[in-house]
């Protein structure tokens, strides 16, 4: 989606003007793809802008850095406050937020040990990632020819910049073929996730989502959806899924910070009932939760002021 410039970006402890938030062309991570990041949303609520599950996102950023052997120079609390400062400086009632930690300028080569770690946080307006029709009409999926990473080649538990080369290849392949999104298989041939979203299907009235062992990122939206679904009285299980499970499911939807909740109307041109009743019920409760309209979920929100 196009980026609309705002006012300030937080870089290494300071708010700088959007146009001045630059890096050197020889920045290490630009050449070797070694960085960790998050995708976060701030929503307009009755009490002003609030960031959804902000602390958990920053904890995952720290965990990603640890997995990659990267020494994070800022604490979770410092990054939480920096995020709030960026949102306030933007003046936006709602926004997409992108924190990133990366190896900076000064070293070249595969040895990252001497490299400095730089951190930046930006935010800008953001609409429906998979289109406004994502919930009402649903989206079309294609099983990708590109396989998700093996755990011992690129750790999928870390949200790293380099991992998303794999996702980009699958996404572009699907778009060129006329689909909206791609489903990625694990090295074992089971369902992993989409290029930037976790997968849920309904079979026998039970919500199923692939386990972490299938190579999917442990999604915070996936966790949110699980809580909401169980509060609605639905049973949720993490189970290994095959492509046939997708073809014959009763409902299917994707979830992620960017995509929110998007219903699926077909996989490999096999039609799926869309949008299903469980999908709609969960999507409605999710929309209320992120906007501060459900008291029991207020603990997920951190107001910026």
Pairing of strands 270-271, 260-267: antiparallel
Q: How far apart are CA 252 and CA 274, in angstroms?
A: 8
Residue 71 CB contacts under 8 Å (≥ 6 apart), including other chains: 65, 117
- How many other C-beta atoms are found inside a 10 Å radius of the C-beta of residue 7? 13
Which of 8, 84, 142, 159 does the annotation list as catalytic? Answer: 159
**Kind and range of the H or E run holding 143:** strand 139-147
Q: For residue 163, what are its two tokens?
A: 């991992």
Burial 38-75 (b: 16+ CB within 10 A, else e): bbbbbbebeeebbbbbbebbbbbbbbbbeebebebebe
How far apart (Å, rounded) are the C-alpha atoms in residues 159 and 67? 10
- How far is residue 45's CA from residue 93's CA, in Å, rounded to a whole number? 8
Distance CA 299, CA 68 (A): 30
In the residue annotation, 176 being an active-site residue is answered as no
Closest alpha carbon to 58 in 121, 10, 102, 115? 121
| CA neighbor of 21 nearest in space, from 40, 7, 1, 38 | 7
Q: What is the DSSP string of 122-137?
A: EEE----TT-TTTTTT
Q: So which residues are the catalytic ones?
A: 159
């Amino acid at each position: 989606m196009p980026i609309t410039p705002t006012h300030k970006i937080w870089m290494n402890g300071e708010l700088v003007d959007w146009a001045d938030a630059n890096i050197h062309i020889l920045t290490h991570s630009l050449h070797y793809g070694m960085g960790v990041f998050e995708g976060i949303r701030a929503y307009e609520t009755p009490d002003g802008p609030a960031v959804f599950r902000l602390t958990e996102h920053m904890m995952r950023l720290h965990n990603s850095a640890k997995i990659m052997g990267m020494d994070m120079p800022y604490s979770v609390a410092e990054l939480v406050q920096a995020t709030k400062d960026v949102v306030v400086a933007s003046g936006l009632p709602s926004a997409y937020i992108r924190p990133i930690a990366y190896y900076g300028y000064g070293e070249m080569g595969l040895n990252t040990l001497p490299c400095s770690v730089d951190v930046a946080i930006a935010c800008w307006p953001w609409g429906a990632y998979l289109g406004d029709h994502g919930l009402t009409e649903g989206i079309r999926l294609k099983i990708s020819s590109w396989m998700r990473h093996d755990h011992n080649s690129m750790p999928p538990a870390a949200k790293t910049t380099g991992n998303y080369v794999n996702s980009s290849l699958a996404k572009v392949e699907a778009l060129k073929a006329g689909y909206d999104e791609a489903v990625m298989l694990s090295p074992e041939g089971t369902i992993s996730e989409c290029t930037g979203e976790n997968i849920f299907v309904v079979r026998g009235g039970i919500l199923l989502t692939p386990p972490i062992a299938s190579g999917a990122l442990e999604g915070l939206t996936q966790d949110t959806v699980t809580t909401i679904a169980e509060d609605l009285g639905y049973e949720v299980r993490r189970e290994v899924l095959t492509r046939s499970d997708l073809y014959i499911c009763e409902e299917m939807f994707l979830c992620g910070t960017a995509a929110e909740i998007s219903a699926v109307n077909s996989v490999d041109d096999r039609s799926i009932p869309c949008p299903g009743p469980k999908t709609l019920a969960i999507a409605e409760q999710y929309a209320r939760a992120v906007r501060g309209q459900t008291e029991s979920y207020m603990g997920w929100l951190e107001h910026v002021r």
